[in-house]
Amino acid sequence: MYLAAGNGVVGSGDPENCGGQVYNLWFGIVLERGSLEATKAFERALDRAGIEHRADYLDTGLHNWATFTRNLDAGWEYVEPALRG
């Protein structure tokens, strides 16, 4: 299982990815902070259950497609071998 999250800190390009709209920026911050906390809690549960996983956390990143795609290659590289059998 592969997990990843940004941290809600505005990074390079984030304002542009939000279309320059302050409310989109604000929602991106709030949603990604929630995503980060949920991902960390889920990771702790996986650790307790002994389930193999990898979690990557970004230094910046809002809840948007740009943040998602930053970990797409790493996620695919991690899960691809299991999918191929």
pLDDT for 2 equals 98
Q: What is the rounded distance in angstroms from the CA atom of residue 30 to the CA atom of residue 69?
A: 19
In terms of residue numbers, what domain contains 54? 2-84
Query: Could you give the percent of the chain with pLDDT greater than 90?
Result: 81
Residues 6+ apart with CB under 8 A from 64: 14, 17, 18, 28
Alpha carbon distance 38, 31 (integer Å): 11
Residue 39 has pLDDT above 90, yes or no: yes
**In this structure, are residues 56 and 4 in contact, taking their beta carbons and an 8 Å threshold?**
yes
The conformation of residue 57, written as its DSSP 8-state character, comes to E
Question: Minimum mean pLDDT among 9-13, 17-21, 37-41: which range?
Answer: 17-21
Overall number of domains in the chain: 1
pTM: 0.88
